[in-house]
Structure 1
């Protein structure tokens, strides 16, 4: 049958099982939006307030569900507004397909109105991208885009479609989508098994690849069998239950001292789906200096890129661990685990529960909430406190921007997660600095009746940068202290949301309960001390076990 380009876009989305897309319309995509109108009985379009919010929503949807998130934007500024969200997804290996409109083929390269080379702009931050210049290439490009986005190491793919391609016609035949099939791991290097067998003090560094692979149960079984302590990167948080006796917490610049010291003491480090980022390893050459190292990863380009290893296995993480489990013997590393427990007693996070601090607030939110709650953060001090103190028990419950560190990520991502899981509570933890960047998306949440609970950790500052200025720049607080006093409660209510304020610990539980009970979007303004710093913190140029602990 013959279809025009706009119809082919919609039919390809149907083939791929897409039922929700996020976006913002414009002239270059108007024909696609006309087809969305005709297909609204099965395909829902979520209109955001800004294209960046749409990209983050597609990202949050993908992280929460494991599906490919889809975002649609027009040409020029619409397309460029997606770039931060695309780069965020790229750095954290999130499957996303971004569809953009462009000017007609005849107008390309002529500085036409709202023309931009989005293909060239996004090349460094996508797994692949397409500029469709022939209507016959449209369906194959879209199908490949979804396959590339979700296969191997996931990531974003962009498909740019000139406007005249959306009106041209060609023959179209439906295809059954090819979903990525996990391939078995055919070979394990004997050195891998030998190093695991010989290790007396093994430690696992678990990253986002564990969660992307759905390998949390396999990881736990593997750790228990080889008696290894488990530290998580920011992206790996939730792959081991917070209260598991082998779990030592997050690692790196603001990691737990238990993890940071243990890495320096272990004799074998097994990196599982982690990429050895600079925020994890600290001073080069001092990271796990006493340990032999193994690396399990789906991306061969990551092996020996940042840290040289003694052995590796390339493949899907879940398949690697399932292959290894029957090959390794049950070990007894009691002395090592006793050493870990001693470190746990000596270096556990402490805070004054009588003071309205961010850790206190997080502990009460968790206590009054559920393990099924999805917690989304922006970027800054509040993000690090959440990684340290919130007791995540399951994977896909902690959504945050790790690699790119995108302030303003949180609310869009929370919208995507809440859209996907209407029955789950979605809690957004943000700072006053991050919240201001994209708080226009409250309108989107209110319009769509998404009852997200937003807790603003309001210290009247850009807290993380201020912390650096405090510790390393002799308190020269340049552009980090806020002398304004935004009425977040009034703002929330003016948008159709509920607003609350917490000024002391005595109000904390009551306000959290009120927010959780409300059927509306809620903004809770938490007034916390401006000068509080996140500890531990690794100073510049230091090894992670040399972190400042208070």
Structure 2
């Protein structure tokens, strides 16, 4: 019996849905199960549909905090984070979060409400040209003009955000587009003329790179966040172990290589390990993978790694030879390229090279005064590491001195273990990012290592952590200063501490007022017990460590100096 309709029978009517429902349905189609955001008038149609959806929704206390939460959720999971905000000030409050994600190549989808299409350009209530404002700080952005374009535009946004060099994509949604109706259509093939991603590196270039590795005596692998973004950590390990190459990482590359393993040079750069900087400067081959040679890594460009032939592997062709001239460029995905390189390289002992590195490590270890009576911030981080190194702890930081100490004195052994703001250096990132990471990793230990000035910027998000029963831990290194600024004022401005000192609240009591736990530590002997107590706490907990006020981060490459011209090594030698 035929199932075809009889002659003259009408075809089924196409299903029509409001744009707001199409938005929510498409988000679910793209695998979204968690969103962050703050409601407002023009996004009410979307929130009304979210009400009946299975999406887990987290409301921050400020849109910037919500954007950092979505960012950290993406960094913790590898999936795109999703943030929604209303028009005008709601949308503009996302600016810092979007710029943070853009600089650090984080896949993010931002949905912003907009006034009705017929009001655009008329200075309507809460109107802002958010696509114009965010064009330099998003990988792509677009304003919707027709409800029929909603689904495909969202699909394209996810594709752009997650492919190639990841980044944030913003979609501006006028309220009449969200309220209008359109036919529901099946997904179409993504067709984006001009947007082409090269995943596989050119075979001749890969072979040239492998030959350079095989012939080198003093190679160094210089690894950035691109290795983590591409999921290339196993391939990195295979290459480094097979060819016997030491590994140094950028701040965002920490965790791509297990720092407890032989061959780790730890972090390089302005506040990197002296032995990493010396190794890069003395290398005859530098293999950069998923890194962009930014100024905090290279120091003075003219004198950076002048003895080395340079290989640069990156999926973003615009990053290659942008700052440092590259001898062997390889445009391609780090995972595929490292896999092919590992197949072609050969093992070399390189005993003299590793002996030299061991000599630098012994002579110039990371240091601080361990005999001090005061609480040294480095000691707090070392003790935290000792108590959590066998756990699956995720470390999140704000920005400042504490961030550098967290990079130096906590050892990272797996990708996505450290979540921090790199390129933009966003103070206030720590607490909301810790919340986003905790949402991504329920039941796991998430610790925000923060500074008092950075924490002050977004501490209202403690209310979010309490509301959603997210047991984030905050290790607050409270020195009463904007620490990194104060350090520069001490070194370069004759200790004229202009506007870098703050009057802080009692952070422990403040945490308790929010409904979190709060602990104050003023004595060095109390540090281990306070960390132990914090780790046992089942609700959000802030531990206020009153650390040495004028402690500095060493070593330090001053601005404009070469990577090997580090200040602070003489201080270590005087203490040794």
- Residues 403, 106 of structure 1: CA spacing in aligned structure 2 closer, same or farther, 3 A cutoff? same
Question: Secondary structure of the equivalent of 2:486?
Answer: helix
1:193-208, aligned counterparts within 5 Å? 193-208=210-225
- Residues 54, 143 of structure 1: CA spacing in aligned structure 2 closer, same or farther, 3 A cutoff? same
Contiguous gaps of at least 5 residues in structure 2: 1-14, 191-195, 572-576
Q: Pick the structure with greater CA Rg.
A: 2
- Bigger mean CA offset, 74-83 vs 132-141: 132-141
Q: Shift of the alpha carbon at 1:182? A: 9.2
Q: Distance in 1 between matches of 2:18 and 2:417?
A: 40
- Residues 145, 485 of structure 1: CA spacing in aligned structure 2 closer, same or farther, 3 A cutoff? closer
Q: Distance in 2 between matches of 1:305 and 1:546?
A: 24
Q: TM-score, normalised by structure 1?
A: 0.97
Q: Shift of the alpha carbon at 1:485? A: 4.2
Question: Secondary structure of the equivalent of 1:188?
Answer: helix
Q: Distance in 2 between matches of 1:383 and 1:177?
A: 43
Contact 1:55-1:85 within 8 A present in 2 as well: yes
Q: Distance in 2 between matches of 1:296 and 1:184?
A: 11
Instruction: Check if 1:462 corresponds to 2:474.
Output: no
Instruction: Check if 1:91 corresponds to 2:108.
Output: no
Report Cα offsets for 1:372-403 as digits up to 9, x if no partner.
Answer: 10000000000001111101111101000000
From 478, 489, 493, the counterpart of 2:498: 478
Q: Distance in 2 between matches of 1:453 and 1:353?
A: 25
Q: What residue is the counterpart of 1:23 in the other structure?
A: 37
1:144-543, aligned counterparts within 5 Å? 144-175=156-187, 183-185=199-201, 187-189=203-205, 190-355=207-372, 356-369=375-388, 370-482=390-502, 484-543=503-562
Report Cα offsets for 1:246-277 as digits up to 9, x if no partner.
Answer: 11111111111011111111100010110000
Contact 2:246-2:265 within 8 A present in 1 as well: yes
Report Cα offsets for 1:120-160 as digits up to 9, x if no partner.
Answer: 00000111001001111111111100010000110000000
Q: Distance in 2 between matches of 1:353 and 1:420?
A: 36
Q: Distance in 2 between matches of 1:212 and 1:523?
A: 31
Q: Shift of the alpha carbon at 1:227? A: 1.8
Q: Distance in 2 between matches of 1:183 and 1:535?
A: 39
Q: Distance in 2 between matches of 1:375 and 1:172?
A: 43
Contact 1:354-1:505 within 8 A present in 2 as well: no
Q: Distance in 2 between matches of 1:544 and 1:504?
A: 37
Q: Shift of the alpha carbon at 1:541? A: 1.2
Contact 1:15-1:174 within 8 A present in 2 as well: no
Q: Shift of the alpha carbon at 1:481? A: 1.4
Question: Secondary structure of the equivalent of 1:545?
Answer: coil
Contact 2:69-2:432 within 8 A present in 1 as well: yes
Q: What residue is the counterpart of 2:193 in the other structure?
A: none
Contact 1:256-1:536 within 8 A present in 2 as well: yes
From 52, 74, 78, the counterpart of 2:90: 78
Q: Distance in 1 between matches of 2:562 and 2:244?
A: 25
Report Cα offsets for 1:478-500 as digits up to 9, x if no partner.
Answer: 00012x24111110001000000
- Residues 176, 5 of structure 1: CA spacing in aligned structure 2 closer, same or farther, 3 A cutoff? same
TM-align CA RMSD: 1.5
Question: Secondary structure of the equivalent of 1:164?
Answer: helix
Instruction: Check if 1:34 corresponds to 2:51.
Output: no
Report Cα offsets for 1:424-474 as digits up to 9, x if no partner.
Answer: 100001100000000000000000000000011100000000000000000
Q: What residue is the counterpart of 1:140 in the other structure?
A: 152
Question: Secondary structure of the equivalent of 1:394?
Answer: coil
Aligned length: 547
Q: Distance in 2 between matches of 1:365 and 1:394?
A: 17
Contact 2:377-2:548 within 8 A present in 1 as well: no
Question: Secondary structure of the equivalent of 2:301?
Answer: coil
Q: Distance in 1 between matches of 2:495 and 2:380?
A: 27
Contact 2:481-2:500 within 8 A present in 1 as well: yes
Q: Shift of the alpha carbon at 1:329? A: 1.2
Q: Distance in 2 between matches of 1:257 and 1:503?
A: 31
Q: Distance in 2 between matches of 1:166 and 1:249?
A: 49
Question: Secondary structure of the equivalent of 1:376?
Answer: strand
From 69, 72, 75, the counterpart of 1:57: 69
Q: What residue is the counterpart of 1:109 in the other structure?
A: 121
Contiguous gaps of at least 5 residues in structure 1: none
Q: TM-score, normalised by structure 2?
A: 0.93
Report Cα offsets for 1:48-93 as digits up to 9, x if no partner.
Answer: 0000000000000000000000000000000000010000000000
Report Cα offsets for 1:501-541 as digits up to 9, x if no partner.
Answer: 11122101111111111111001000011110001111121
Instruction: Check if 1:127 corresponds to 2:139.
Output: yes
Q: Distance in 2 between matches of 1:485 and 1:83?
A: 27
- Residues 121, 398 of structure 1: CA spacing in aligned structure 2 closer, same or farther, 3 A cutoff? same
Q: Shift of the alpha carbon at 1:351? A: 2.4
Report Cα offsets for 1:98-136 as digits up to 9, x if no partner.
Answer: 000000001100011000000000000111001001111
Report Cα offsets for 1:256-299 as digits up to 9, x if no partner.
Answer: 10111111111000101100001110101111011111000110
Question: Secondary structure of the equivalent of 1:235?
Answer: coil
Q: Distance in 2 between matches of 1:153 and 1:371?
A: 31
Question: Secondary structure of the equivalent of 1:158?
Answer: strand
Question: Secondary structure of the equivalent of 2:51?
Answer: helix
- Residues 203, 99 of structure 1: CA spacing in aligned structure 2 closer, same or farther, 3 A cutoff? same
Contact 2:152-2:188 within 8 A present in 1 as well: no
Q: Distance in 1 between matches of 2:342 and 2:556?
A: 36
